[in-house]
């Protein structure tokens, strides 16, 4: 993580704009793509993500929809200049449909029940237990992570979570931020397509290289979405280490504890099997 943290805290280091981010030769348009005016500013436009509307304003504990970038436009993508340039050259859109998911959140239109039978807003009374109760009820009903507040929080997650082919062998829990994890994955994509053996900019090659970078970005979005969707398949902890809010993180860990205690043994997996064999 140290190397990643260094890269994250000193973003856009060693980006020479006069050189192609793929082949490191002098700047040139991507083969098969027309050259337009290079504008490397990153705009976050949740409206173009085309998220499926998951809002439910009629529920007892209603929710609005947050249009969430699976790969954050500003907190992740915009921090790596070479990847912004790869995207511009190939026509990748950080605000495109593959990078969006709708998640439950609050809005001025929704109120929640109070003890005296009235309804008030989420933040009413500044009571954190009330907020937690609302968030948990919504997550249970919407089967999705509560998207309130920012997601650059540090969260302690179990060791040994799986992410693609990466296996973390550490034996103690460690702290992971959603955004740091995604930047780490973006750096992998960037380094991958820089490899000379791919030679994406080779005009003489018979390969159509135009969509390769875009596909790896869309694949990353898809794998993040799969993780977030573990809330809908009854295994919220499967989202590890990607939680978009602190309450989504605590919900996942508490529901997994509850599941274990309902089970009666307080054990899961191999430990449970061992106990059965003993009997």
In the complex, the residues that contact Zn ion under the rule CB under 5 A are 20, 22-23, 201
| C-alpha separations of 187 from 3, 61, 213, 248 in Å | 11, 40, 13, 26
Indicate the residue among 22 and 77 with the shorter CB distance to Zn ion.
22
Cβ 85 to Zn ion shortest distance, Å: 10
Residue 210 near residue 184 (C-beta atoms within 8 A): no
Give the residue with the Cβ less far from Zn ion, 120 or 199: 199
| Nearest-approach distance from CB 211 to Zn ion, in angstroms | 16
**Contact predicate 189/216, CB 8 Å:** yes
SS3 assignment, position 111: coil
CB of 197 to Zn ion, least distance (A): 14
Shorter beta-carbon distance to Zn ion: residue 31 or 46 = 31
Shortest distance (Å) from residue 21 CB to Zn ion: 8
Of 90 and 240, the one with the shorter C-beta distance to Zn ion is: 90
Core vs surface per residue 167-196: b (16+ CB within 10 A) or e: eeeeeeeeebbbbbbbbbbbbebbeebbee
Alpha carbon separation from 120 to 112, 148, 213 (Å, rounded):
5, 17, 47
């Amino acid at each position: 993580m140290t190397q990643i943290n260094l890269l994250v805290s000193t973003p856009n280091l060693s980006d020479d704009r006069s050189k192609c981010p793929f082949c490191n030769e002098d700047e040139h348009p991507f083969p098969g793509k027309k050259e337009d005016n290079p504008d490397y500013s990153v705009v976050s436009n949740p409206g173009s993500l085309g998220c499926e509307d998951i809002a439910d304003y009629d529920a007892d504990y209603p929710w609005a929809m947050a249009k969430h970038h699976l790969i954050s436009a500003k907190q992740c993508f915009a921090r790596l200049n070479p990847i912004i340039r790869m995207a511009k050259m190939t026509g990748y859109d950080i605000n495109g449909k593959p990078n969006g998911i709708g998640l439950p959140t609050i809005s001025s239109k929704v109120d929640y029940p109070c003890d005296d039978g009235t309804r008030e807003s989420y933040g009413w009374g500044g009571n954190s237990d009330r907020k937690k109760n609302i968030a948990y009820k919504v997550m249970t009903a919407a089967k999705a992570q509560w998207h309130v507040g920012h997601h650059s929080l540090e969260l302690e997650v179990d060791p040994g979570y799986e992410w693609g082919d990466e296996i973390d062998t550490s034996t103690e829990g460690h702290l992971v931020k959603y955004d740091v994890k995604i930047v780490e994955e973006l750096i992998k994509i960037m380094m991958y397509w820089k490899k000379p053996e791919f030679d994406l900019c080779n005009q003489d090659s018979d390969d159509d290289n135009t969509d390769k970078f875009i596909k790896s970005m869309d694949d990353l979005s898809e794998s993040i979405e799969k993780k977030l969707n573990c809330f809908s398949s009854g295994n919220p902890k499967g989202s590890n280490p990607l939680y978009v809010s602190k309450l989504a993180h605590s919900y996942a860990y508490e529901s997994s504890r509850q599941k274990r205690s309902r089970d009666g043994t307080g054990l899961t997996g191999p430990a449970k099997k061992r106990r059965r064999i003993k009997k």
